[in-house]
Amino acid sequence: MKSRWHATILSVCGSNFHSSPVTRDRFLSCTHGTFVLLTLARPCANYVSMSMETLTRAWEVLQDAYQAQMEGDYDHAVELYHSSLELHPTAEAHTFLGWTYHFQGRIEEAIAECKRNDIGAYLIELGRFEEAIPWLERATEARRYEPRHFPHYNLGRAYLGKEMYGHAMRCFQEALEIEPRYSLARQALASLRRMVN
């Protein structure tokens, strides 16, 4: 049977994540400066009770859904994410489905899908800064949240929306400590410094 490349966000099985150096040469661009690591799927302890065939099929459908999303075919991507979730629910499928809803402008549905990962960012887009802050604070502490600098940047945006400039500045700086090349945080920090000086 031919091996297929599968998309996942850096860690599927926590400390049981399997990778090898030969699989790290393939990356697929994603939106908002994120990326998805392509890796050969292998079972982990969390999936022992599930048939390998079902797990493999769920990951294949997830890959197809992600490809449709990257091609801008959001309706088809939504359909495929739902199919993957029916086979085997994963945080990754819910997150990608939430992103797809977001790209379709279905923000409330995106919030319902993501449950934590991107809720804060979506609430910011709705101008609900106060509600966004606790979600983003939790995201800064979450072990599986990738990329690590996003929740810090978004928390800074929420504080900026509430005109809490000192807190916003601290968050933008934290984002840059994690990812010094993150231009949005650098621009936000520079803009904020000009505004308060």
Tell me the domains of the chain and their CATH numbers: 1-115 (1.25.40.10), 128-197 (1.25.40.10)
d(CA 39, CA 36): 9
Supply the DSSP symbol for 65: H
Segment 79-127, tens digit of pLDDT:
999 999 899 877 678 888 988 999 999 988 887 777 655 788 888 989 9
Verdict on whether the full-model pTM lies above 0.85: no
**What is the C-alpha to C-alpha distance for residues 99 and 109, in angstroms, rounded to an integer?**
10
- pLDDT tens-digit map of 4-52: 333 333 322 222 222 222 222 223 333 333 333 333 333 333 444 457 8
